[in-house]
C-alpha cells in the first residue's frame, strides 16, 4: 500500500494548564481539500500552526511523504500559508509581493517574472501588478495572498479563516475562485473555518473539531447523513432533537419510546447503550412527513402547529409536542399539506426510522 501523503499522528498541545489539542490523528491524500471545521476554541488553528511549524506539539508527529517535519523549521517546510488578515507587505507592489518568496529562494529573474505573470493569471488579477495592496479591495488582497502562497509550488497550502473579514457575497465569490484554483493546481489544501456552509462548499472531506479532538472525518454528505455524535449532527445542517426513552440498544440500532406512547424500532444508534435511560432522537426537518389526520401507525407523533414561515423555496413549520418540545419541519413550497394549515392546528409527524438517529 502506498504511504499517505500527509500524516498527523497523535498530536497534543498543552499551553500550561490549557490543553488546546488533546489527540489529533489523520491522514491527508495528495491533492485533497480537507477542512478543519469547529467552533471557536476547538483546536483547529493550533493544529494548523503545528503543521506550519509556528508551534511545536507537546506530543505526536507530522509526516510528509513519510518524513517527520518536526525538526524542520517553519521557513524550510515549503508549506504555503494564507491567513485571515491580509498579510501582504504594504510597501511592495502586487507583483513584488508575489515575487517575494521566489526571490528569497534566489530563483533567476526570468523565472520569477514568468511565475508572477502565471500567478496573476491564475487568480485573475492581470494588470494589477504595479498596484499597492492599499489600492485593492479586501477580496483582491486575499487573491494576491493566495498567489503569493502558491508562487513557489508548495506541496501543501494552509488556510486559516482566509475569508472571514469579507462580506457574504465576496466570500462566496472567492470560495468559487479557491475551488477553481484547487482543481487547476491540485495542491493539497488544509483549510480552517467555523462556517459549515463554507466547509461544505469547498471540501473533499471535513474534520469536525470539538474540544481539541476530531469527532468525525468524512465528506459533507457522509457527515450529514450519518453523524457519529450529537455535536456533529448539530454542527452540520439543521436538526431537531426530541428526548426519548431507550427500550433496547445494541449493534448500532435502538428501539425507543417517544413521550411514553409512540414506539419506534430499529433507529441508528450512537453512544453507550443504557437501556431504560434517556436519549435524544435526532431528525432532519426535511425528512419529516406531515399528515393532517392520525395515521394507523403508532410511530407518528401528534403535534400542534406554532408557526409557519415562508422561506422562498421552502416552508418552515414550527410545531410543539404535548410535552412542549419544539420540532421544525421543512416542506417544499407548494406542498399539499401546507394549504389551509394554520397556527394551533393538530397534525401528525411521521418519519422513516432509518433516516433518524438516537444519541445517548
Ligand X SMILES: Nc1ncnc2c1ncn2[C@@H]1O[C@H](COP(=O)(O)OP(=O)(O)OP(=O)(O)O)[C@@H](O)[C@H]1O
Contact set with ligand X (CB under 6 A): 15, 18, 20, 38, 40-46, 194
Q: Toward ligand X, which CB reaches closer, 20 or 150? A: 20
**Which CB, 200 or 356, lies closer to ligand X?**
200
Q: To the nearest whole angstrom, how small is the minimum distance from the Cβ of residue 146 to ligand X? A: 20
- One DSSP character per residue, 16-40 reads TTEEEEEEEEEEE-TT-EEEEE--T
Q: CB of 51: closest distance to ligand X in angstroms?
A: 12
All three cell numbers of 53, joined, read 511549524
E strand or H helix that includes residue 302: strand 301-311
| Least distance between ligand X and beta carbon 332 (Å) | 35
DSSP 154: -
With residue 81 as reference, give the H or E element that holds it: strand 79-83
Gap between the Cα atoms of 293 and 349, Å rounded? 10
Least distance to ligand X, CB of residue 40, Å: 3
DSSP 337: G
Q: How far apart are CA 213 and CA 38, in angstroms?
A: 10
Tell the smallest beta-carbon distance from residue 314 to ligand X (Å).
30
Decide: helix, strand or coil at residue 2.
Answer: coil
CB closer to ligand X out of 189 and 283: 189
Strand 205-210 to 33-37 pairing? parallel
For ligand X, the closer of residues 9 and 12 by Cβ is 12
Q: Are 125 and 94 in contact (CB under 8 A)?
A: yes
| Minimum CB distance to ligand X, residue 43 (Å) | 4
Asked if 331 and 314 touch (Cβ cutoff 8 Å), the reply is yes
Task: Tell me the three cell numbers of residue 156.
Answer: 501543501
Q: CA–CA separation, 288 vs 306, rounded Å?
A: 16
- Residue 77's region, left for phi above 0, alpha for psi from -120 to 50, else beta, is alpha
The number of CA neighbours under 13 Å toward the Cβ of 337 is: 22
C-alpha cell at 356: 433518524
Q: Given the complex with ligand X, which of 44 and 77 has the nearer CB atom?
A: 44
Q: Is the CB of 48 or the CB of 303 nearer to ligand X?
A: 48
Quick one: how far is CA 168 from the chain centroid?
17
Q: In whole angstroms, how close is the CB of 79 to ligand X at the nearest point? A: 17
When the beta carbons of 116 and 158 are compared against ligand X, the nearer one is: 158
Cβ 19 to ligand X shortest distance, Å: 8
Nearer to ligand X by Cβ, of 20 and 156: the residue is 20
- Judge contact between 315 and 286, C-beta under 8 A: no
Min dist. Cβ of residue 82 to ligand X (A): 15
Helix 138-150, helix 94-104: angle, nearest 10? 20
Beta carbon nearer to ligand X, 45 or 93 = 45
Amino acid at each position: 500500500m502506498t504511504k499517505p501523503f500527509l500524516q498527523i499522528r497523535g498530536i497534543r498541545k498543552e499551553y500550561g494548564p490549557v490543553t488546546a489539542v488533546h489527540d489529533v490523528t489523520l491522514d491527508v491524500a495528495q491533492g485533497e481539500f480537507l477542512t478543519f471545521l469547529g467552533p471557536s476554541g476547538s483546536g483547529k488553528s493550533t493544529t494548523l500552526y503545528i503543521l506550519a511549524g509556528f508551534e511545536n506539539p507537546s506530543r505526536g508527529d507530522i509526516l510528509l511523504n513519510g518524513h517527520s517535519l518536526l525538526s524542520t523549521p517553519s521557513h524550510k517546510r515549503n508549506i504555503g500559508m494564507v491567513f485571515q488578515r491580509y498579510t501582504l507587505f504594504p510597501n511592495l507592489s502586487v507583483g513584488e509581493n508575489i515575487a517575494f518568496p521566489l526571490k528569497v529562494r534566489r530563483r533567476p529573474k526570468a523565472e520569477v517574472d514568468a511565475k508572477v505573470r502565471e500567478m496573476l493569471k491564475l487568480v485573475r488579477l492581470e494588470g494589477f501588478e504595479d498596484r499597492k495592496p492599499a489600492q485593492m479591495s479586501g477580496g483582491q488582497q486575499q487573491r494576491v495572498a493566495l498567489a503569493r502562497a502558491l508562487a513557489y509550488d508548495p506541496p501543501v497550502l494552509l488556510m486559516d479563516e482566509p475569508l472571514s473579514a469579507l462580506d457574504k457575497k465576496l466570500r462566496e465569490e472567492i470560495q468559487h475562485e479557491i475551488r477553481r484554483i484547487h482543481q487547476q493546481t491540485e495542491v493539497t489544501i488544509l483549510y480552517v473555518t467555523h462556517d459549515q456552509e463554507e466547509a461544505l462548499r469547498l471540501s473533499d472531506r471535513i474534520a469536525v473539531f470539538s474540544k481539541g479532538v476530531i469527532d468525525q472525518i468524512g465528506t459533507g454528505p457522509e457527515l450529514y447523513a450519518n453523524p457519529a455524535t450529537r455535536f456533529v449532527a448539530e454542527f452540520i445542517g439543521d436538526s431537531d432533537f426530541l428526548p426519548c426513552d431507550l427500550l433496547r440498544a445494541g449493534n448500532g440500532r435502538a428501539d425507543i419510546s417517544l413521550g411514553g406512547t409512540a414506539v419506534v424500532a430499529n433507529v441508528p444508534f450512537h453512544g453507550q447503550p443504557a437501556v431504560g435511560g434517556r436519549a435524544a432522537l435526532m431528525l432532519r426537518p426535511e425528512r419529516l412527513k406531515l399528515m393532517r389526520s392520525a395515521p394507523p401507525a403508532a410511530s407518528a407523533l401528534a403535534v400542534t402547529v406554532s408557526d409557519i414561515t415562508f422561506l422562498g423555496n421552502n416552508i418552515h413549520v414550527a410545531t410543539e409536542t404535548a410535552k412542549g418540545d419544539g420540532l421544525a419541519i421543512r416542506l417544499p413550497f407548494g406542498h399539499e399539506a401546507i394549504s389551509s394549515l394554520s397556527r394551533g392546528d393538530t397534525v401528525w409527524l411521521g418519519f422513516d426510522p432509518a433516516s433518524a438517529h438516537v444519541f445517548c
